[in-house]
Amino acid sequence: MVQAIALQKIFESAGHQIVGVLIGRSRRRKLPTFFETAFEGRLHHFESPNFITDGADKAIRVMATILDGVLNTRTYLKSLRQIHETLEDLKPDLVFNFFDLMTSFYAIRFRPKFPIIGIANQFLLHHPHYPKPKGMLKDWLGMRLLVWASSWWNQEKWCLSPVPLPDIPRKRLVIMPPLLRDDVQALTKVTTEDFVLSYVINNGYAQELLEWHQRHPDLKVHCFWDNPKVPPVYQPHPNFTFHQVDAQLFLDYLNRCRGLAGTAGFQTTCEAMFLEKPFIATAVAGQYEQAMNAYFVEQIGQGIHAPKLSLDWFAENKDVGLRPRVDAEWLTNRSRFVERLAQVINQ
């Protein structure tokens, strides 16, 4: 979502118009307020599939997710019609697909005349020069299938990468820098404070952190999560505080923290990289893409890839003196998006 907001600002500052934003919703996830505010008056919702997690709310249950999609086929067919009617009204010159399967299904069903460009860091799976973890054959195969299915009908695949890599024209792969938010790039350097920041995408990982912290109560931890069942600020015991997801507040804490520990989402990884924050990166079980991100963090000397989310590395002061290899110029290269869009339009 923050990637869509960042891309909007890049293109609108170059004189382009964003006529609408279509986004899937489900009963399991609520759209953050910051996203609805950013695209107020231009948002169009439709029902879409979502990943189903295990009982601990950690690992992705692939078969259950597929079965849920099959059982709700009628609902999703209506969504495809809704997407088609919305795009007929908006009459866009071009559509960007942020790795959404429904866009591929829509394109197969309705064969649109406008070009579709896919944007995703998951396309790194197809790049031979990007480091990848060994093993995980089942997850790797699942990821390949998802990348293939999500990029049907794409004229180009804009591959978001934390480092510059060569394009691969035969795969229609165009390497792009991460879509860092303006707010990240505008942060001024502040004195590092003695606390660790965490962000968990599934609440099962929050329980792991709490159990670890009960054994190490002296380490100060602030953790962001999406759990509407508790107050906006919730402190289960001293030195451990939960905050509801808030983009601006998270950045403030990220800028001040000693280091980061959490699931290895691409956006969070790149923001931590830009701010040169040490990072304990844990891949969500069943998500090969996050395993790639966590492996990369270790490769550039920014932190470690931890199979289980714990803060031992910080408790043992192993983050002291880290000097990650970061290409700040590439991470903030916005002109490449505008230049490539012009090339697509003029083709």
| pLDDT confidence of residue 287 | 84
Q: In terms of Cα–Cα distance, which of 242, 197, 196 is closest to 219?
A: 196
Nearest-angstrom CA–CA distance, 101 and 266: 19
| pLDDT confidence of residue 143 | 86
Residues 219 and 314 sit within 8 Å (Cβ to Cβ): yes
216-242 confidence digits (pLDDT tens) = 999 999 999 888 889 999 999 899 999
267-286 confidence digits (pLDDT tens) = 989 999 999 999 999 888 77
CATH classification number, 2-179+332-345, choose in 3.30.450, 1.10.20, 3.10.620, 3.40.50? 3.40.50
Q: Is the confidence at residue 150, as pLDDT, over 90? A: no
The mean pLDDT of 83-90, rounded to a whole number, is: 97
276 vs 142: which has the higher pLDDT: 276
pLDDT class for 2, splitting at 50, 70, 90?
Answer: confident
| pLDDT confidence of residue 246 | 87
341 vs 347: which has the higher pLDDT: 341
| pLDDT confidence of residue 57 | 53
Q: What is the three-class DSSP state of 304?
A: strand
Query: Which CATH fold would you assign to the domain 184-329?
Result: Rossmann fold (3.40.50)
27-69 confidence digits (pLDDT tens) = 656 777 778 888 989 999 998 876 666 555 555 565 566 666 6
Nearest-angstrom CA–CA distance, 336 and 344: 12
Q: What are phi and psi of 117, to 5 degrees?
A: -115, 125
| pLDDT confidence of residue 60 | 58
Measured from the Cβ of residue 211, the count of other Cβ atoms closer than 10 Å reads 10
Residues 225 and 245 sit within 8 Å (Cβ to Cβ): yes
| pLDDT confidence of residue 47 | 86
Written as six digits, the tokens of 88 are 């007929």
Instruction: Specify the domain boundaries for CATH 3.40.50.2000 within the chain.
Output: 184-329
DSSP 284: P
Q: What is the three-class DSSP state of 277?
A: coil
Kindly report whether the global pTM for this prediction surpasses the value 0.85. yes
Q: Is the confidence at residue 130, as pLDDT, over 60? A: yes
Q: For Cα atoms 198, 246, 14, give the angle at the middle one, nearest 5 degrees.
A: 110
Q: Is the confidence at residue 121, as pLDDT, over 70? A: yes
DSSP states of 157-196: EEEE-SS----BGGGTEEEE-----HHHHTPPP-PPPS-E
Share of the chain above pLDDT 90, in %: 59
Nearest-angstrom CA–CA distance, 209 and 198: 9
| pLDDT confidence of residue 12 | 95
324 vs 195: which has the higher pLDDT: 195
Q: What are phi and psi of 243, to 5 degrees?
A: -130, 140
